[in-house]
Structure 1
Amino acid sequence: MDRPELTSAQSPLVYLHGLPGSPDEVKLICGAPSRFFAPNLRDGALDPQITAQFGIQPVTLIGFSLGAFRALRFAADHPEGVAHLHLIAPAAPLELGDFLDQMAGGPIFRMARDHPKLFRLVTRLQTLASRIAPEFFAAQIFARAQGGDTALKAKAGFLRDWGHIARQCLADGAQAYRDEITAYVAPWAELLSRVQTPTSIWYGGADNWTPPVMAEALIKKLPIPPQVRRIENASHYSTLAAALAQITAPYRTANNPC
């Protein structure tokens, strides 16, 4: 895979995490704290946080998984505020295709869409499980790991650390988690026509969280053709690792891999 030509290497990086997730995803993948500005979903609206940090300076926005939903919303509403948009293993609108049966989290998304009261109950159970046994909870989430995620899952400490990330997300930000998933499963494809930002899409050929057909549907729907990077044999978090390694290359220092 060739290294991408980045047109926004001087703009600050803003990372939008997945769900369950937190800004600590970057440390989990990179092995060190990041130099990104990584707002936590539980801290509220994105617009004032970016403005407070960078003023009117355009940013390079990185959205991973469900973080791509937030990134696309921000880019649609603030085209002048985003120099470049990187969508990594992006969760595309569900109305673009029949994706749910191919998604590891498909039952949760279907429940949130079709049975919201049951979804709220299940998220309470997830919160309890992640609090009592975070590593066991992580092991269940990664039970169907494939492609490059298999090696990540086997890495010492990965499930433990991911479990703590999930516990933090669900214990401290459960309402934000529920609200974001509820918004995601509702129709939102119409906003894609307003995304006029140069975009790169990174997706894994073996991703069973956000399957390749989901990324490919999103690619076709964006009004400006994106740069596309398909990473063979990468699944969800292994796609994140490969993408971050290349996106952050112009920003790296010797002692900071991200």
Structure 2
Amino acid sequence: MKPLKFSQFGSDNGRMVVYFHGAPGAPEECRIFDLQGKHHGLTFICLDRFSVDSSINGEAYYKLLAAEISRIASGKQLDFVGFSIGAFIALQTSRYIANGVGSLHLVSAAAPLESGNYLEAMAGKQVFMLAKAAPVLFILLSYWQGLLAWLSPNAVFRLLFASAAGEDKALVADSEFRSDTTKVLKACFIGRVRGYARDIGLYVRPWETTLAEVSVNTHIWHGAEDNWSPPQMAEYFKSAIPGSTSTTILNGLSHYSCLHQAAPRICNLLGKA
């Protein structure tokens, strides 16, 4: 297999931080850490994980991501940041990093569906239910989203943010955020559908038992108004992850607005480490 492509942001030769983008998402999402990364001497890398062959799944997928990260790091100390469903992938991958992960930051993290009654409060309820009950239909829906992203990427953006809550509403009205997010959605759904579908398919399966293996220092960042990953998920992670060290609930913020507010604070913490 060819080495996995990745994007790099922040400092050219700083402390290495691996960012796990959301689903939908793409490596370009990591650009939010670029300026603060340079300021704090942090090198952010984000794997193009949706490009991994769809035949590689489950634990083999996490092991492959861990191996690629270890190859890129070449023995350097690593920290992880995971956003949304990317937080789930970060948690799973951290179990296979031979030298361990210095710290793990979970932003707007999506908890195991079997760990609580979350679905009714989740904006992605229909997608998750379909992925769980009818995986083939879910993949067909994802390909339809890919076609829509090619024909009218703005329409995909509007669908994604139709139920925006809290400060996410202000982000939706911001032209720069709209432009950046539309590019991310195109990168996700055009040519990467199978990779996106794999992450969602893995997420909707039971996985809460794996959290007992996560001993890394874990910091939780969550918006009080999050309607993608309800705030109760942050409380669940706080109790379920043995290495949980801090939980920050940000008032008035939802899913993406939490990422925007947490990014500089995470960089500040990592820069002091």
Q: TM-score per shorter chain, which class? A: 0.7 to 0.9
CA shift, 1:68, in A, is 0.6
> What SS is found at the alignment partner of 2:219?
strand
1:6-25 aligned at under 5 Å gives the runs: 11-25=15-29
| 8 A contact 1:64–1:87 mirrored in 2 | yes
Matched residue pairs, number? 242
Distance across 2 between alignment mates of 1:185 and 1:16: 18
| 8 A contact 1:204–1:212 mirrored in 2 | yes
Match of 1:205 among 185, 200, 224: 224
1:98 — aligned with what? 117
> What SS is found at the alignment partner of 1:14?
strand
> What SS is found at the alignment partner of 1:161?
helix
| 8 A contact 1:134–1:160 mirrored in 2 | no
Q: Does 1:133 align with 2:137?
A: no
Larger RCO (CA within 8 A; separation ≥ 6): 1
Match of 2:50 among 42, 50, 53: 42
1:3 — aligned with what? none
Structure 2: gaps of 5 or more residues: 1-13, 38-42, 53-63
CA shift, 1:78, in A, is 2.7
CA RMSD of aligned residues (A): 1.9
CA shift, 1:32, in A, is 5.8
| 8 A contact 2:114–2:208 mirrored in 1 | yes
**Kindly tell me: are residues 32 and 128 of structure 1, through their superposed partners in 2, closer, same or farther at Cα, counting changes over 3 Å?**
farther
Structure 1 residue runs of 4+, over 6 Å off?
none
1:15 corresponds to which letter in structure 2? Y
**Kindly tell me: are residues 147 and 172 of structure 1, through their superposed partners in 2, closer, same or farther at Cα, counting changes over 3 Å?**
same
Structure 1: gaps of 5 or more residues: 1-9, 253-258
1:23 corresponds to which letter in structure 2? P
Distance across 1 between alignment mates of 2:257 and 2:160: 15
> What SS is found at the alignment partner of 1:37?
strand
CA shift, 1:115, in A, is 1.3
Identity between Structure 1 and Structure 2 (%) = 34
Q: Does 1:164 align with 2:183?
A: yes
Distance across 2 between alignment mates of 1:118 and 1:157: 33
Q: 1 or 2, which has the higher strand percentage? A: 2
Distance across 2 between alignment mates of 1:199 and 1:33: 21
CA shift, 1:211, in A, is 0.9
| 8 A contact 2:88–2:203 mirrored in 1 | yes
* TM-score (ref. length: structure 1): 0.88
* TM-score (ref. length: structure 2): 0.83
1:42 corresponds to which letter in structure 2? F
